[in-house]
Amino acid sequence: MANFSLLKWRFRLILFVFLFFFLGAAIISGCVSTGKPQAPVEMYLLNYPAPTFALPDKIDDTIRLNRFSIATAYNSNSMIFRQDNYAFDSFNYNRWAVNPADMVGDILLRDLQAGGLFLAVFSRDTVDEGRYVVSGGIEEFFLKKDNSGNNAVLSLAITLKDAKQRDTRKRIIFQKKYFREEALNEQSPRGYCQAMSKAMQQLSTQIINDIYQGIKSAENVRKP
Taking Cα atoms as reference points, which of 127, 121, 137 lies closest to residue 64?
Answer: 121
Residue 29 reports pLDDT greater than 60: no
Name the helix (H) or strand (E) containing 136: strand 132-146
Could you tell me which residue, 163 or 138, shows the higher pLDDT?
A: 138
Same structural domain, 101 and 87: yes
State the pTM of this model.
0.79
Per-residue confidence (pLDDT) for residue 53, from 0 to 100: 87
Same structural domain, 186 and 152: yes
Same structural domain, 140 and 73: yes
Residue 60 reports pLDDT greater than 80: yes
Q: What is the mean pLDDT of the chain?
A: 83
Per-residue confidence (pLDDT) for residue 220, from 0 to 100: 67
Residue 164 reports pLDDT greater than 50: yes
Q: What is the mean predicted confidence (pLDDT) over 7-27?
A: 49
Q: What is the mean predicted confidence (pLDDT) over 55-74?
A: 91
Residue range of the domain that includes 159: 42-222
Same structural domain, 150 and 172: yes
Asked whether the beta carbons of 49 and 115 are under 8 A apart, the reply is: no
Same structural domain, 146 and 176: yes
Residue 199's domain is classified under what CATH number? 3.40.50.10610
Q: What is the mean predicted confidence (pLDDT) over 182-189?
A: 92
Same structural domain, 21 and 58: no
> Residue 129: helix, strand or coil by DSSP?
coil
Same structural domain, 25 and 46: no
Same structural domain, 147 and 163: yes
d(CA 49, CA 154): 18
Longest Cα–Cα distance of the chain, Å, equals 114
Asked whether the beta carbons of 205 and 51 are under 8 A apart, the reply is: yes
In total, how many domains does the chain have? Answer: 2
Total count of residues recorded for the chain: 224
d(CA 179, CA 42): 27
Is 212 buried (19+), middle (13-18) or exposed (0-12) by CB count in 10 A? buried
Same structural domain, 50 and 129: yes
Same structural domain, 14 and 48: no
Residue 169 reports pLDDT greater than 90: no
CA 90 to chain centre: 14
Lowest mean pLDDT among 17-21, 61-65, 148-152, 220-224: 17-21
d(CA 19, CA 184): 58
Same structural domain, 90 and 169: yes
Same structural domain, 13 and 117: no
Per-residue confidence (pLDDT) for residue 224, from 0 to 100: 57
| pLDDT above 90 as % of the chain | 54
Q: What is the mean predicted confidence (pLDDT) over 126-133?
A: 81
Per-residue confidence (pLDDT) for residue 27, from 0 to 100: 41
Q: What is the mean predicted confidence (pLDDT) over 106-135?
A: 89
